[in-house]
Structure 1
Amino acid sequence: MNSPRFASAWATAAGWEDALHAVIAELPRLPQANLGFLYVSDHFAFAIDTILGQLRAQTGVLEWVGATGVGVIGTQGAALDAPGISVMLGAFPLDSFRVFSGRRPLPRDFAPYAALVHADPLTPDMSELVQDMALKVRGGRIAGGLASARQQAFHIAGEALTGGLSGVAFNEHIQTLTGVSQGCAPLPGSWRVTQAQDSLIERINGRPAVEVFREAAGTLGTDLRRAVSTLLVGLTDADDDRRQFAARRIVALDVRSGRIAITESIAKGQNIVFLKRDEETARSELAHMLAELKAACPHPPKGGIYVNCASRGGVMFERDDSELEMIREVFGPIPLAGFFAAGEIAGDHLFGQTGTLTLFL
């Protein structure tokens, strides 16, 4: 076996036993399967160890990675804020992958070229942890997302875990491609934070932050309540790179002090853009990402993992499965699993508000 093969199934049900039974019944048989990807609705987080045990017994696959999510994704659909389970099995060449976690470090004699990772959203300095992981992967190709849950979130690497980051690393024999759909577009202008404290942006280009925000928002700025619900702040790495950004929600505006609060700590000198977020922009951007991925594929992909932001799905699109429909239109009904995450990972970046599709070639 020179390249991996995949099979997937997903199901929603009020109880985890019914959902798991449906998944196992629909899961195509895959001889030589040796790695499983498991995404469990946070409704079933309390039973995650039992679900793992039953999947091992029913499939014979011993190695598993994955996470809990506030929704799950499968080849045929997606369900946000609904109880469900999504599973994908992979049959990989021997010695082509290693499952790892804080309790189970990667062996020194394994050279990682790509990695699929999951993490606890409450882990401090997650952006730095992602960057550190990317440096350990020779090809720099990491993708994945932060587990999500209304209460306790778990990520999976052989067992259910809290805290830190875990996943599966692949050697150079496993080819992957990852595309990022940011779901929003930069408004005109780029800015530099000149005064900040924790997650508060106090001054931008030497002016009160709210004043600059109102100016950048244009006609939307006449209704600040609407502007806050529609626009985002994008953190960028350089003055001339407005296309690569990490979107962060605006939590509050203080008109009296002129400060803006966002969902991440920010430092003086950070470059930012303001972003417009709506379904039309998101649909267009996703279609563009899928077209670029297809053009980059030397042959049809064999399977995929879709990590979607919990603020997308039916919150942004017409339905929870609208994005899956677009993926199927481009790549067909390939085996696929995924979840709605608290943050998305691609390259050395921790994103928000995005959908990331990783394809196995």
Structure 2
Amino acid sequence: MADHMQWANALSTRPSLEAAVAEVVQRTVSLLTAPADLGLVFISSAFASEYSRVLPLLAEKLSVPVLIGCSGGGVIGTGASGQTQELEAEAALSLTLAHLPGVDLQVFHVVAEDLPDLDSPPDAWIDLIDVEPSAKPQFILLSSAFSSGINDLLQGLDFAYPGSVIVGGQASAGGLGGRLALFCNDTLYRDGTVGLALSGNIVLETIVAQGCKPIGEPLQVTKADRNIILEIDEKVPLVVLRDLIASLSEKERMLAQHSLFVGVAMDEFKLSLQQGDFLIRSILGVDPAGGAIAIGDLVRPGQRLQFHLRDAQASADDLKFLLERYQQQGSPSAAAALMFSCVGRGEGLYGKPNFDSELFNSYLPAIPVGGFFCGGEIGPVGGRTFLHGYTSVFGICREMAGD
């Protein structure tokens, strides 16, 4: 009988860390019929004073060759009822275990100072990660929110490992001045990025739900300087924007006052642009005199963009659209998913708990989901990897088809 990958997840809300660890280990181990090769642990910031005890407590109960994890403003996992739960602002611990035959695992921890500069050849990045591009690795990255050099790391990995899929998130502290934890095997780190490269018999597919809906039509940047849009369709950007807002419904106009974003098209050659083709970025400010608009990313002439609005309805519709598209692609059966959701989503956005995970489970039922609420989410748009905000990134794991 062929040995197949197996995944299991358990979530505990026991207020005692010992009890929570015992519960998640017992439940996940009992669900697997073969030894675990990988563990992923996510712990809520309610346990912040006890982060240093997590790995020793796990080591007492669990033997797993590779373990990564981090702290989050909330955690996501399978409760005792068998339902996926998103627990924000309360003590919770989520453990995912995976038995991965035919998969090579390589973990690493890098700090910003270790990163090659962006003019370096691919070899400098390959030496850092110690995995050959020919292995076609998939990456899971967990980084600290500050000075981790995550944007440079994403750019470097995209450059050195073309075609590799990268997902993950930034550990969140839950409150200002809160402490972060990154776990890597038996070590607790406070900064940098913990990464896992998976190669061999594993496919990682992504859904990156940025939670926005487009308004108006796609436009072209005709003049730009760094992150400042100086001309759109050869017109003053602010004038174009005012005309667009004037054409909206009353409800949309109200929304545009505080929830207006810009989507930058990632594929220069795609003719009909739709959701998922845009990288959503914040509007940082406008120059009332010259009418220029500054956004939270670099822009260049020739790029296409479209203004977007974000609210609970747009976020729900966007995730639904992407899940339907994923389902229509008829992917072979998924074994598990990892969910990296922004602390700005969840109950604060939807007014009720478990919204994104329930929607996900309605399209992909009965697979274990584990993850956390991030300070920034990592996932691809248009074939390149970015750090997002207000996004839910799902990494869907399965075996390779047809072998």
Q: TM-score, normalised by structure 1?
A: 0.84
- Shift of residue 8, structure 1, vs aligned partner: 0.6
CA deviation after TM superposition for structure 1 residue 337, in Å: 0.4
Deviation for aligned residue 1:177: 1.7
**Secondary structure of the structure 1 residue equivalent to 2:315:** helix
Corresponding residue number in structure 2 for 1:349: 385
Q: Report the alpha carbon displacement of residue 144 of structure 1 after superposing the two structures with TM.
A: 1.6
Q: Does 1:107 align with 2:130?
A: yes
Matched with 2:90 is 82
For 1:88, give the aligned amino acid. Answer: T
Counterparts in 2 of 1:256 and 1:40: CA distance versus 1, 3 Å: farther
What secondary structure does 1:235 align onto?
strand
Change (3 A) 1:335 1:108: closer
Matches within 5 A, 1:230-269: 230-237=259-266, 242-243=273-274, 244-251=277-284, 255=288, 258=291, 260=293, 262=295, 264-267=296-299, 269=301
Cα distance, 1:73 vs structure 2:
0.9
Where structure 1 has 5 or more consecutive residues not aligned to the other structure, the ranges are none
Aligned residues of 2:18 and 2:57 also touching (Cα < 8 A)? no
Whole-Å separation in 2 of the counterparts to 1:44 and 1:66: 14
Q: CA deviation at 1:85?
A: 1.6
The partner residue of 2:341 within 308, 311, 329 is 308
2:7 equivalent in structure 1: 6
Task: Give the distance between the partners of 2:254 and 2:294, measured in 1 at CA.
Answer: 14
2:37 pairs, out of 30, 34, 37, with 34
Secondary structure of 1:56 counterpart: helix
Q: Per-residue deviation at 1:226?
A: 4.5
Q: Alpha-carbon deviation of 1:145?
A: 1.9
* Greater mean deviation of Cα atoms: 125-134 or 308-317: 125-134
% of aligned pairs identical? Answer: 23
C-alpha distance in 2, partners of 1:148/1:193?
Answer: 38
Q: Is residue 213 of structure 2 the alignment partner of residue 176 of structure 1?
A: no
Deviates more, 1:176-185 or 1:11-20: 11-20
- Partner SS for 1:171: strand
Aligned mates of 1:346, 1:73 — CA distance in 2: 18
Q: Contact (CA 8 Å) 2:148, 2:191: kept in 1 or not?
A: no
Instruction: Tell me the equivalent position of 2:114.
Output: none
1:229 aligns with 2:252: no
What are the Cα deviations for residues 187-243 of structure 1, in whole angstroms up to 9, with x where unaligned? 22324273556x6x4634366554433333335698987524222122333566544
Question: 2:51 aligned with 1:72, yes or no?
Answer: no
Q: Is the 8 A contact 1:115 1:137 kept in 2?
A: no
Across the aligned residues of Structure 1 and Structure 2, the Cα RMSD in angstroms comes to 3.2
The answer on whether the counterparts of 2:144 and 2:191 sit within 8 Å (CA) in structure 1 is yes
Q: Deviations over 1:278-328 (max 9, x none)?
A: 222222221222233334454322211011122221222242301111122
In 1, distance between residues paired with 2:261 and 2:192? 27
Contact 2:149–2:192, Cα closer than 8 Å, also in 1: no
Secondary structure at the counterpart of residue 90 of structure 1: strand
Q: Which moved more, 1:212-221 or 1:33-42?
A: 212-221
Residue 267 (structure 1) shift: 4.7
CA–CA separation in structure 1 for the residues paired with 2:106 and 2:262: 37
1:337 is matched by which residue type in structure 2?
G
Shift of 1:49: 3.1
User: TM-score, normalization: structure 2?
Assistant: 0.77
The structure-2 alpha-carbon separation of the partners of 1:219 and 1:95, relative to structure 1 and needing over 3 Å to count, comes to closer
Structure 1 residue identity aligned to 2:24: V
AA aligned opposite 1:169:
A
**Inter-CA distance 125–216: structure 2 relative to 1 (3 Å threshold):** farther
Q: Tell me, which stretches of 5 or more residues in structure 2 are unaligned?
A: 79-83, 112-126, 399-403
Structure 1: how far apart are the matches of 2:242 and 2:131?
52
Q: CA deviation at 1:355?
A: 1.5
Aligned to 2:317: 284
Q: Tell me, in whole angstroms, the C-alpha distance in 2 between the residues paired with 1:146 and 1:120.
A: 5
Q: CA deviation at 1:5?
A: 0.7
Deviation (angstroms), 1:179: 1.8
In 1, the alpha carbon distance for the partners of 2:325 and 2:13 equals 32
| Map of 2:397 onto structure 1 | 360
| Cα separation, 2, equivalents of 1:16 and 1:251 | 41
SS at match of 2:110: coil
Q: What amino acid maps onto 1:153 in structure 2?
A: L
- Partners in 1 of 2:189 and 2:359 — Cα distance? 33
Is 1:130–1:349's contact at 8 Å kept on the other side of the alignment?
yes
Between the aligned partners of 1:62 and 1:6, the Cα distance in structure 2 is 15
TM-superposition CA deviations, 1:71-127 (whole Å, max 9, x none): 111132102333322110011126622112228954356824312222223236533
Give the 3-state SS of the residue equivalent to 2:140 in structure 1. strand
The 8 Å contact of residues 193 and 267 in structure 1, kept in 2 or not, is answered as no
The one-letter code sitting in structure 2 at the alignment partner of 1:171 is S
293-302 vs 87-96, which deviates more?
A: 293-302
> Structure 1's 170 and 3: CA in aligned 2 closer, same or farther, altered over 3 A?
farther
Q: Which residue of 2 aligns with 1:47?
A: 50
Q: CA deviation at 1:260?
A: 4.8
Bigger mean CA deviation after superposition, 27-36 or 221-230: 221-230
